Structure 1
Amino acid sequence: MKSTILNTLHSAAVVMTLCTAATIAPQASAQNPQPPNRQDSADQLLYRRAFEVALWAMPAADSFAAREAVKRDLHGKPNDVAINTKPLNSDIHLVALQTQTPYLQGAFDLKDGPIVVEIPAATSESHLYGTICDAWQRPLDGIDVGKDGWDEGKGAKYLLLPPDYKGDVPAGYKTMRSRTYLQNFLIRSISTAGWDAAVEYAYTMKVYPLAQATSPDKTTFLDMSGTVYRAAPVFDAGYFNLVDMLVQEESANDYDKTMFGMAAYVGIEKGKPFKPDAHTVQILERAAKDAQAYLIQISNGVALVPAEGQPGWTRFNLHKEDIAKGRLYVYENADGTIDYQRRAAIDYWAYVMPAVLGSGTMYNAAFVDAEGRPIDSTKNYRLRMPNGFPARNFWSVFAYDGRTRTFIANSKKGRQLSSLDKLVKNPDGSTDIYIGPAAPKGLESNWIETIPGIDLFMGLRTYGPEKAVLDGAYKIPRFELMK
C-alpha cells in the first residue's frame, strides 16, 4: 500500500510542481524570448483553483452525493428514508460503513419548512443510534439521537428547523436548528434478536413535515439492497456538479465566503448555470483525481494519528476544539483559521460522524502490521480477537478499497466480519480474522478477501466500547503477517 500511495503522491506532486512552474515562469528572457502561452497559464490557474475547491467542499460533496443517490438510484425524493434490509456489500457505495447492522440513511430538505423525525423508544432487544448532520456534516445541536444520544433510548420527536425559520416552535419537541437546508443522516438499528428484528424495528422511525404533525403521512422507506446505490462522490469532473449544488442551494458560512469566491473562478457561481466546456471538463477531471490521490497520501498523519496507548493503531485526528459544543467539526484552529485540508482528509474516511465519540462507537485503523511493516494488499494477515473483548454491543473488523472508500469489489462483495457472525472460534474462545487475497483452508468463514494492488484501508470498530479500550488500558491486538 505504501509504495502505491507514494507513487500516487509523486505523480500528484509532479503535476503540482509543473503547475507552479508554468504559472510563475518569466514573461521573457534571452533564452526564452517568447512570453508564456496565455492558454497554458490560464489552464494551470484553473487547475490549482479547482484542486483547492475540491478539498474545501469534501464534507458537503458527500452530503449532496447521498441526496442525489436517493433520487437517481432509488427513485425517491428528499425526506424519504433509505434502508438496507440485507447486509451492505460492494453494490452500496456509502463511505466506510459496516455490514452488521441495518442503516437508515438519506437526506432531509428543510426548504419547505421544518421536519419532524420521530425516534422510537428502545425495547429490551432493539434500539436506534445515529446522527443528523447539516450539509457540512456538522451534527445538529451537537447531539446524537437514540439510545446513546439525547433521548437515551426513551424516544423523542426531533424538530429540524431551517436556518431562516421565524415561526412558532411548538412544545413537545427536541428542536434542532440547522445552518443549512440540506440535512444528511445515518442511523443504525441494533438488535440482540438478530438482523430481521433490527430491520423490523427500523421501520418504526417516522419522518414527516411539521405541518402534518396532527395527521402525518406514512414514512416512505426505500430498500437499497439488491441495487447499485452510488451515494459516495466519484472524484471526476462530475464531482464539481456536487459543488455547484452546494453553492446554488446554500448560503456561505462566514469562514467559507472566500472559497465560494474561489469556486466562482472555476465557473461555479450562485444564480448562474455551471456549464464547463470540454476543455474545462478535462482540467476539472484531473484536479478531482489529483485531490483524491492527495487525500489518500496524507491520511496517515493528517486524518489519522497514533492512538494513545494502542501501539500500531491510529485514530481520527480530532482535537478538543473540533468536537467542542458550537464548533463541532468546523476544524477551527486556535488562531481562528479553518483547516479545510485536515477537514477534507478526515471526512474522506468518515461519513456523518457522531457528535459524541466514544459513547456509541470507536473506530481504529491500521497502516502497519504487528512488526511495524506497512500493510500490503498482496499479503495475508491474521487478527486474533480475544474472548471477552471490551465491547458492550459488538466488534467488527473491516477492510475497504481506499480509492472508492467503500467495500472491496471482490468475490465476497466486500464483506466484513464481527462478533455477531457465525465464526470458527479457537479452543480458548478467541477468534482469528484473516484478511488477504488467499483464503485460509477450512476457515473461509473467517476470511475477508482483498484484491492485490488496491489501496487497502483496514481496521477495527467497537460498538459500545468500554473505558478500558478507550483509555488504552486494554491493548487491542494487531495484524500479524501470515507466512
Structure 2
Amino acid sequence: MAGGAQAESVAKYAADVPENVLTSDVVETDSLGTLEFFDGMPKPETVSNIYDNLDLIRSTTAFLDGMKIASLRGLLMGYASEGVAPNDILIHSGLMDARSLWLTPNTTTIYVGAHLDTSQGPMVMDVPAGLLGILDDAAFDYVTDIGALGPDKGEGGKYLILPPEYEGEIPDGYFVFESKSYDHWLVLRASPDPDGSTEGPVAKIKERLNIYPLAQADNPPAENFHDATGRQYNTVHANNFHFFEEIDAALQANPTGAFSPELLGIFAAIGIRKGQPFAPDARMKKIMTEAAAIGNATARALTFSPRDPGVFFYEDRQWNSPFQRQSHLFLEDGARMLDDQTFFFYYATGITPAMTSPPVGAGSIYEVGAKDVNGDYLDGSKTYSVTLPGPVPAKNFWSFMVYSGQTRSILETDQKSGGVDSNSPDIVANEDGSYTVWFSQQPPEGKEGNWVQTLPRKSFHVLLRLYGPLEPWFDKSWKPGDFIPVK
C-alpha cells in the first residue's frame, strides 16, 4: 500500500482501525500501475482499469477451467464436420494416422466413436463383446466404462443412458446410467487380428454395435456407420477466441445442470449464458482474445514444462503424467488439482478411473516425455535414443507414440505408424532383453525396426504406454530410460 496517510478520526465514537484494513488514496501495483481512490472509493479511471483486468482474469479462468468442455465439444464438432449425425457411429476401420487430428490417439487399435445424444429421450447402446471403451458427458465427466473394465466385463451387452431427471419406466435387461447432460462422447477400441488385419474385427463391430432410442427397442433401426480412415478432419478445440464460441455451443445444447455452478458463474461473468446470445462487444472480444492467448500459453507450460514435482513418476526421470495422484477427478487431500486437470484435458481425451489406477495386469498406463535427459525440449532436428530395461513390465504390449508439439495429435511424417511397439514385426531386443528405440529424421543404420521418424525444426513429445502394467511398474523397481541426445 502506498499514498497519503489516513487522517486521524476526530469522531466521538472513533474506532481504532488497523492499518491493514485501510486503502490509501494512491496504490502502486506492478500489474496495473497506479490505482487512485477517494477515501477508499475507486476513481473512474481505476474502475475501468480494474474491470478490464477482472474480465481478463475471468476469461482466462474460463479458458483453463472450461477446457474440458471445449475439448469434448471439439470432438462432437469434428464428427459433425464429417457428416456424422448424433447417434451415428464413426469408425477408423483402417487404423488412425496423422491426417485425422485427435489428441494423442494411437495407431495400433481400431477407433470407434459417437456423439450420443439423449435430448429426445433415453438411448440404448448395444455393444458387442471384445471392445474397450468409455462414455463421458458434456462436461467431460465420467459416466461409465464399457467392455472389460465396465459392467459387461467384456462380454458385451445393452447400456441404457437416461437423460437428466428422467421419470419414465426403466425396463429390465440393461446396464442403466443416468447422466446430467444430453451430449456424450462414446469412444470404443478394438484390437486388430494377430496378423494385423482389421477386416474381421470391423465386421464384428458392424454386425452388432448399434445406438438407438429406447422407444424403438422392439424394432431397432439399422446403424449408420461412417468410415473416417485417412480423412483430414479436426477434433481439437480452438486456442483463440473461437474457444469461447465452443463453450457457448456446449451450454446451449445441454441443461444447466450438466456443468458446475462455479463454471457457469465464470462463463456468465463474461457473457456466456444458456438461452442468451453470446455477442461480446469490441472491448470484450479483444480481452477474450488475449485471455485465450494467455490461457493457451499457460496450458502449454503446465503440459510440457510442469513445475509441480507431484506429476513426475520418478525423481530422476523426465517422464510425467497428470494422473500421478491416481484420481480421475484430480483430487488430492480433498483439493482439486487444477493444474493437473488442465494438463490432462489439454493433452488427452477420455476420462475414466481406469486410466489413473488400473489393476495390475489390466488396463493401461501413460507417461509423457517432452524433454530429454538434460531438460531440453525434444527437437526433430536431433537424434535421440531411449532404452526400456528388460523385461518391460507389460502383460500385453508396450508402445511409443510420437505427437506434434503444436496439435498434440500424431506427428505428421512419412511414417504412418507414428511410433513403434513391442508387437511391431521388425523390432529387435537388445541382448539383455531391453529395447532401445531411436527418434530421428532418418533411421540409424541397422536400427530401422526400432526407429520413429521426426521432422527438422519441429518439436515433438512421446507417450509411453504399457498395456497390462505389471507390479514392477507400480512399485517403481522398473524405470524407463530418458531421451539421450546422440551426436
Normalised by the shorter chain, which TM-score bucket?
A: 0.7 to 0.9
Asked if 1:235 corresponds to 2:243, the answer is: no
**After superposition, what is the alpha-carbon deviation per residue over 1:430-472, rounded to whole angstroms, capped at 9, x for unaligned?**
5432113443235445332334454432131111222332332
Q: Which of 235, 245, 252 is the equivalent residue of 1:248?
A: 252
The aligned residue for residue 482 of structure 2 is 478
Amino acid at match of 2:347: W
Deviations 1:46-88 (A, max 9, x none): 322211101111111111111111112x112111121112232
Deviation sequence 1:309-332 (CA, Å, 0-9, x none): 984432334535x34xxxxx2x45
Q: Distance in 1 between matches of 2:394 and 2:33?
A: 56
In the TM superposition, residue 159 of structure 1 has moved relative to its aligned partner by: 1.0
1:183 is the counterpart of 2:176: no
Alignment of 1:84-95 (within 5 A): 84-95=92-103
Q: Does 1:118 align with 2:126?
A: yes
Question: Which position in structure 2 is the counterpart of 1:148?
Answer: 149
Cα deviation per residue 1:147-182 (whole Å; 9 max; x = unaligned)?
233222221211111122111111011111112111
SS at match of 2:240: coil
2:348 to 344, 347, 350: 350
Indicate yes or no: 2:68 matched with 1:64: no
Distance 2:258 2:179 in 1: 15
Alpha-carbon offset, residue 209 of structure 1? 1.4
- The equivalent residue for 2:268 is 264
Output the TM-score relative to the length of structure 2: 0.82
TM-score (norm 1): 0.82
Greater shift, 442-451 or 43-52, is seen at: 442-451
Distance change in 2, residues 1:161/1:309 (3 Å): farther
- Per-residue CA deviation, residues 269-289 of structure 1 (Å, 9 max, x unaligned), is 121111234554443232212
- Kindly state the Cα deviation for residue 137 of structure 1 after the two structures are TM-superposed: 2.2
Unaligned runs of 5+ in 1: 1-19, 122-126, 324-328
Given the alignment of the two structures, is residue 306 of structure 1 paired with residue 312 of structure 2, yes or no? yes
Q: Specify the SS of the correspondent of 1:71.
A: helix
Distance 1:303 1:344 in 2: 16
Say whether the 8 Å CA contact 2:138–2:258 is kept in structure 1: no
Q: Partners in 2 of 1:114 and 1:68 — Cα distance?
A: 22
User: Matched residues in 1 for 2:227 and 2:220: separation?
Assistant: 21
Q: CA deviation at 1:387?
A: 6.1
Q: Show the counterpart of 2:321.
A: 315
Is the contact between residue 438 and residue 451 of structure 2 (CA under 8 Å) also seen in structure 1? yes
d(CA) in 2 for partners of 1:466, 1:198: 27
Q: Displacement, 1:131? A: 0.9
- Name the counterpart of 2:13: none
Structure 2 residue aligned with 1:376:
378
Computing the radius of gyration from Cα coordinates, the structure with the larger value is 2
| Structure 1 residues 339 and 314, CA gap change in structure 2 (3 angstroms) | closer
Q: What is the CA–CA distance in structure 1 between the aligned matches of 2:240 and 2:276, rounded to whole Å? A: 22
Partner of 1:162: 163
1 CA distance for matches of 2:457 and 2:300? 15
Aligned-partner Cα distance in 2 for 1:274–1:443:
55
Q: Within the alignment, does 1:49 sit opposite 2:50 as a pair?
A: no
Task: Give 1:405's aligned amino acid.
Answer: R
2:377, 2:459 within 8 Å by CA — same for their partners in 1?
Answer: no
2:375 & 2:338 partners in 1: Cα distance? 30
| TM superposition shift of 1:366 | 2.5
User: Which amino acid in 2 is paired with 1:245?
Assistant: A
SS at match of 2:295: helix
Pick which of 377-386 and 209-218 moved more.
Answer: 377-386
Aligned residues with identical type, % of pairs: 26
Amino acid at match of 2:376: P
Partner of 1:423: 426
Distance in 2, matches of 1:468 and 1:130, equals 26
Distance in 2 between the 1:230 and 1:116 partners?
27
Secondary structure in 2 aligned to 1:27? strand
Partner of 1:174: 175
Going from structure 1 to structure 2, the CA distance change for 1:397 and 1:208 (only over 3 Å counts) comes to same
What letter is aligned with 1:361? S
> Structure 1: how far apart are the matches of 2:258 and 2:30?
33
Aligned-pair Cα RMSD in Å: 2.9
SS in 2 for 1:86: coil
CA contact (8 A) 1:114 1:160 kept: yes
Do the aligned residues in 1 keep the contact of 2:115 with 2:184 (CA within 8 Å)?
yes
- Give the structure, 1 or 2, with the largest relative contact order (CA under 8 Å, sep 6 or more): 1
8 Å CA contact 1:395, 1:461 repeated in 2: yes
Q: Distance in 2 between matches of 1:159 and 1:482?
A: 54
1:304/1:346 contact within 8 Å kept: no
Distance 1:25 1:253, change over 3 A: farther
